[in-house]
């Protein structure tokens, strides 16, 4: 049994314990499956970070993708090679940065005796958060090649998004986030990465 870690192009050095399996013009990286699931998850994440620094393009596989052997993996990918190569081409030379924004201090959300006043207050807060998210996103999109934004209805954050960034553009992107954060002390901004571009793997 083997576990799939990632697809890569332009790999400088194969990480220890992994095997390279040719898939069209790209390479699938696999390793032995088994062991403690939590340890395997940590190992999976560390290997992906190692690949970020040693491959031109990295397309992470979902954790837990397992196959009987390399022949089974090759057969499973036979009809998806073109899709895989298009996705790899889209992330080549890129990494993922995550930007999350929250209000630095919590709002007063207790229910007012006046229900109408409370609802108006909530609407103003939602509108203010939406304006912040739109303003920041508009600054970051020109510095990115793609973006995936979390549905604000499913998050407590003002903004939660992943950006696909060219490796040479990372410093400029981070500086833009830092300038925005300095200009808005009422917000708490966190920019993390660079990560392997898992958010942009799509169905591949």
Which of the two residues, 18 and 113, has the higher pLDDT score?
18
Sequence-separated contacts (24+) of 47-51 with Cβ below 8 Å: 47/5, 47/6, 47/15, 47/18, 48/5, 48/6, 48/195, 48/196, 48/198, 49/195, 49/196, 50/15, 51/5, 51/6, 51/8, 51/11, 51/15, 51/196
Asked whether the predicted pLDDT for residue 123 surpasses 90, the reply is: no
Which of 6-10, 100-104, 156-160 has the least mean pLDDT?
Answer: 100-104
**Local confidence band at 80 (pLDDT 50, 70, 90 cut-offs):** confident
Which of the two residues, 34 and 195, has the higher pLDDT score?
195
Structural domain spans, the chain: 2-91, 94-200
CATH of domain 94-200: 3.30.70.600
**Local confidence band at 204 (pLDDT 50, 70, 90 cut-offs):** low
**Local confidence band at 113 (pLDDT 50, 70, 90 cut-offs):** low
Query: Which has the closest alpha carbon to 191: 115, 102, 72?
Result: 102
């Amino acid at each position: 049994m083997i576990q799939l870690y990632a697809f890569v192009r332009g790999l400088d050095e194969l990480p220890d314990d992994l095997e390279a399996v040719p898939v069209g013009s790209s390479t699938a990286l696999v390793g032995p499956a088994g062991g403690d699931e939590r340890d395997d998850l940590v190992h999976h994440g560390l290997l992906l970070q190692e690949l970020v620094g040693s491959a031109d393009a990295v397309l992470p596989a979902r954790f837990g993708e397992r196959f009987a052997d390399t022949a089974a993996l090759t057969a499973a990918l036979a009809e998806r090679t073109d899709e895989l190569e298009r996705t790899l081409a889209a992330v080549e030379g890129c990494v993922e940065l995550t930007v999350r924004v929250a209000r630095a201090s919590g709002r007063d959300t207790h229910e007012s005796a006046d229900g109408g006043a409370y609802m108006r207050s909530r609407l103003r807060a939602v509108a203010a958060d939406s304006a912040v998210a739109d303003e920041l996103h508009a600054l970051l999109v020109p510095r990115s090649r793609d973006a995936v934004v979390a549905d604000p209805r499913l998050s407590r954050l003002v903004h939660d998004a992943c950006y696909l960034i060219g490796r040479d553009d990372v410093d400029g992107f981070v500086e833009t986030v830092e300038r925005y954060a300095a200009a808005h002390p009422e917000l708490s901004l966190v920019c993390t990465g660079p990560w392997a571009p898992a958010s942009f793997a799509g169905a591949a």
